[in-house]
């Protein structure tokens, strides 16, 4: 019988020094130390980062405790954060710290620099590629900092702590009859995490991504300085932290734009062609014809374009000027189309049954009476988020995505759709535009915003419905790679390019850009401790 410790020592000794346990240069993707030569002629790269071995952990832990920082080292505490929403990357931190204040985060990062201990920051943990999974070191749980500090209904701003869930922020804002501008349609995304990666809502075609709503931030830098930054104050830090994948600081507070709350009236148009639906979506966005727009598919022949409005006036203008130009059908008209389609293809009745079942289950969920008032949806994030988790959630989720300029978007989606078809029987595509802010061009470099996008960028998530099926990790990774290869081909970008997908970063952004950012990272974070291995 092998004892666990001696087995770990055995594993440690088995890893050749060349493929290296500790000396892989941060900023490079190392070879796979499990089987770097397993595929003849193809160099295998590691996907999960190497686990930090834990040198100097005890001295570091002692310093934290001397500073009054509670460090949890039990398996139960660490295991809570063993994976993220994707459920394919697993790792354990050596200890967990719940963030309580900027001063505490600062003390933690200073000690981490001194002892070279990696710190992985986690908000809602909803990312899927292992970016918020700690492979050793400290896991910093930012949800401990979830207070709303001040709502200014005159200036239309809110100051909040960075770990707060968008939903918790909405709960407080609604008591003041206010709302945030745009946030992911997932209630438990955190504000800080979202500002670091983007954040897309169905109103992003009009209002931009969540990251563009930030007016100012309080950031704890990797070396532990507490710095306020904005477009005018410490602008360079602001540029790097926004959409910076957590590489240049921990967002402890944020000032965000808000607006008066309005319920929204939804309209659904159904298409049997992705191309037509996308063209119509882009036409609406370009003409500012709606307040909200996006596409959600049940199948690639059952495509739902959703359009929504904050006011009766905007809705009336849409009906008068734009509705007739849409090529989509209403529900009844589309049902007739689908009936005709399957009457001519009786061998595809299984597909028709799937469509019918999906519609019967999903649609009532989007129109539950308790979330509607006078035909208007009162809580879009609650409605969509509950539906997302109910119908697409599970212990394993892969959601590769593509972001491109308007011009390349149809091709990207059609090619991605073919990949989905090859890998999974059922999947959903979620497509939405992002209005860009020219003055934020510097924020967008090496982010989810494609370098060639002007005015709008478009994103598509390709989400297989895994359900109770079991797929190997290789199958899921191959699927993601096939989607991401399209991004390289088209010169686009991705929303989820860190963690297990970081091998694509240099391919899609090029060495010059990545090396420049890596140099900045090294200057800001000399020991490379903050969210290491996530993108560099």
Partner 1 sequence: MWGFVKNAFIPRRDHTDCSGCSLCLPVCPVWRQTRDISLTPHGRAKAMQQGEAVSVVAVESCTLCGACDPVCPEQIDLSGMTLKLRRQTEHPHAPALQARMDEKAAHPLTSQHAAAKWLPDQALSEHPELLARITDLLGARVTEDDGADIALALEAGVIIPAHRMQRFLAPLKGVKRIIVADGLLLKHLKKLLPAMYFVSLGEALSNHADVSHNLRATDLYVIEPRAYHSDYQRLVKHYDRLRAKHGCAFNLDLQRIAIPITSRNLPQRMGLMAHDDDAQARWALHGRSISRIVVESSEDGMALEKISDVPVVHLAELADHGVHVQA
Contacts with partner 1 by CB under 8 A lie at 72, 74-77, 79-80, 82-85, 87, 98, 124-126, 141, 143-146, 163, 165, 167-168, 170-172, 174-176, 187-188, 369-371, 379, 381-382, 385-386, 389-390, 393-395
Distances in whole angstroms, Cα of residue 306 to Cα of each of 265, 271, 278, 293, 375: 10, 11, 11, 6, 15
Q: How far is the CB of 472 from partner 1 (least distance, A)?
A: 19
Minimum CB distance to partner 1 smaller for 217 or for 388: 388
β-pair type (138-141, 214-220): unpaired
Q: How far is the CB of 83 from partner 1 (least distance, A)?
A: 7
Q: How far is the CB of 101 from partner 1 (least distance, A)?
A: 12
Q: How far is the CB of 91 from partner 1 (least distance, A)?
A: 13
The tally of CA atoms less than 13 A away on the side-chain side of residue 75 is 0
Class of residue 412 by CB neighbours under 10 A (exposed 0-12, middle 13-18, buried 19+): buried
* Cα separation, 194 vs 242, whole angstroms: 9
Minimum CB distance to partner 1 smaller for 182 or for 282: 182
DSSP for 357-373? HHHHHHHHHHT-GGGEE
Listed in sequence order, the residues at least 6 apart from 64 whose beta carbon sits closer than 8 Å to its beta carbon are 71, 97, 107, 108, 111
CA-based nearest residue to 402, from 531, 495, 481: 495
Minimum CB distance to partner 1 smaller for 154 or for 313: 154
Q: How far is the CB of 168 from partner 1 (least distance, A)?
A: 5
Q: How far is the CB of 330 from partner 1 (least distance, A)?
A: 27
The interaxial angle of helices 406-423 and 274-286, nearest 10 deg, is 150
Q: How far is the CB of 385 from partner 1 (least distance, A)?
A: 8
Q: How far is the CB of 188 from partner 1 (least distance, A)?
A: 4
Length of the chain as a residue count: 536
Which residues on adjacent β-strands are paired with residue 190?
Answer: 165
Q: How far is the CB of 100 from partner 1 (least distance, A)?
A: 8
Q: How far is the CB of 77 from partner 1 (least distance, A)?
A: 6
SS (H, E, C) 414-478: HHHHHHHHHHCCCEEEEEEEEECCHHHHHHHCCCCCCCCCCCEEEEEEEEECCCCCCCCHHHHHH
Minimum CB distance to partner 1 smaller for 103 or for 339: 103
Rg (CA), the chain: 24
Minimum CB distance to partner 1 smaller for 106 or for 381: 381
How many helices (H) and strands (E) would you count in the chain? 18, 17
Query: CB count, 10 Å around CB of 514?
Result: 18
- Which position has the token pair 């209630």? 187
Minimum CB distance to partner 1 smaller for 43 or for 150: 150
Minimum CB distance to partner 1 smaller for 192 or for 208: 192
* Cα separation, 415 vs 399, whole angstroms: 16
Minimum CB distance to partner 1 smaller for 212 or for 253: 253
List phi, psi (to 5°) of 383. Answer: -60, -50
Q: How far is the CB of 382 from partner 1 (least distance, A)?
A: 5
Q: How far is the CB of 113 from partner 1 (least distance, A)?
A: 26
Minimum CB distance to partner 1 smaller for 363 or for 371: 371
Minimum CB distance to partner 1 smaller for 103 or for 488: 103
At 408, is the secondary structure helix, strand, or coil?
helix
Minimum CB distance to partner 1 smaller for 320 or for 470: 470
Minimum CB distance to partner 1 smaller for 344 or for 369: 369
SS (H, E, C) 114-161: HHCCCEEEECCCCCCCCCCCCCCCEEEEHHHCCCEEEEECCCCEEEEE
Structure-block tokens of residue 536 = 């560099």
Q: How far is the CB of 388 from partner 1 (least distance, A)?
A: 9
Which residues on adjacent β-strands are paired with residue 458?
Answer: 404, 433
Minimum CB distance to partner 1 smaller for 38 or for 369: 369
**Cα 26–Cα 194–Cα 178 angle in degrees, nearest 5:** 160
């Amino acid at each position: 019988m092998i004892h666990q410790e001696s087995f770990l020592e055995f594993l440690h000794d088995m890893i050749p020094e060349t493929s290296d346990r500790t000396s892989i240069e941060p900023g490079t993707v190392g070879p796979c130390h499990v089987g770097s030569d397993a595929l003849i002629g193809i160099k295998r790269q590691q996907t999960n980062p190497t686990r930090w071995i834990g040198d100097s952990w005890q001295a570091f832990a002692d310093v934290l405790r001397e500073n009054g920082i509670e460090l949890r080292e039990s398996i139960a505490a660490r295991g809570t954060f063993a994976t993220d929403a994707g459920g394919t990357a697993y790792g354990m931190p050596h200890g967990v710290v719940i963030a309580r204040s900027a001063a505490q985060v600062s003390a933690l990062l200073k000690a981490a620099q001194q002892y070279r201990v990696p710190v992985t920051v986690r908000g809602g943990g909803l990312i899927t590629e292992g970016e918020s999974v700690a492979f050793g070191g400290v896991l910093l749980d930012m949800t401990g900092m979830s207070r709303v500090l001040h709502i200014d209904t005159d200036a239309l701003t809110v100051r909040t702590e960075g770990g707060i869930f968008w939903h918790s922020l909405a709960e407080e804002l609604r008591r003041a009859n206010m709302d945030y501008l745009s946030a992911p349609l997932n209630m438990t995304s955190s504000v800080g995490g979202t500002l670091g990666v983007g954040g897309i809502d169905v109103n992003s075609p009009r209002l931009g991504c969540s990251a563009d709503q930030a007016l100012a931030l309080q950031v704890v830098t990797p070396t532990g300085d507490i710095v306020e930054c904005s477009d005018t104050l410490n602008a360079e830090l602001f540029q790097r932290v926004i959409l910076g994948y957590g590489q240049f600081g921990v967002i402890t507070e944020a000032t965000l734009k808000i607006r008066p709350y309005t319920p929204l009236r939804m309209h659904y148009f159904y298409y049997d062609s992705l191309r037509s639906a996308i063209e119509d979506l882009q036409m609406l966005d370009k003409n500012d014809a709606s307040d909200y727009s996006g596409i959600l598919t049940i199948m690639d022949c059952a495509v739902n374009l959703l359009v929504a409005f904050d006011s009766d006036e905007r809705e009336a203008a849409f009906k008068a000027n734009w509705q007739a130009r849409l090529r989509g059908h209403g529900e009844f008209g589309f049902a007739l189309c689908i009936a005709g389609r399957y009457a001519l293809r009786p061998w595809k009745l299984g597909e028709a049954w799937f469509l019918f079942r999906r519609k019967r289950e999903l649609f009532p969920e989007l129109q539950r009476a308790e979330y509607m008032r006078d035909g208007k949806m009162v809580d879009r994030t609650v409605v969509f988020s509950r539906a997302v988790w109910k119908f697409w959630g599970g212990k394993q989720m892969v959601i590769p995505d593509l972001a491109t300029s308007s011009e390349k978007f149809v091709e990207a989606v059609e090619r991605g759709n073919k990949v989905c078809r090859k890998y999974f029987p059922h999947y959903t595509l979620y497509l939405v535009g992002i209005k860009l802010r020219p003055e934020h061009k510097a924020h967008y470099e090496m982010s989810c915003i494609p370098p060639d996008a002007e005015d709008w960028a478009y994103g598509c998530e390709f989400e297989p419905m895994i359900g109770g099926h079991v797929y190997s990790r290789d199958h899921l990774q191959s699927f993601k790679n096939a989607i991401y290869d399209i991004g390289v081909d088209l010169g686009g970008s991705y929303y989820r390019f860190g963690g297990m997908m970081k091998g694509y970063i240099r391919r899609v952004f090029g060495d010059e850009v990545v090396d420049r950012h890596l140099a900045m990272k090294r200057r800001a974070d000399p020991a490379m401790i903050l969210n290491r291995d996530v993108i560099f």
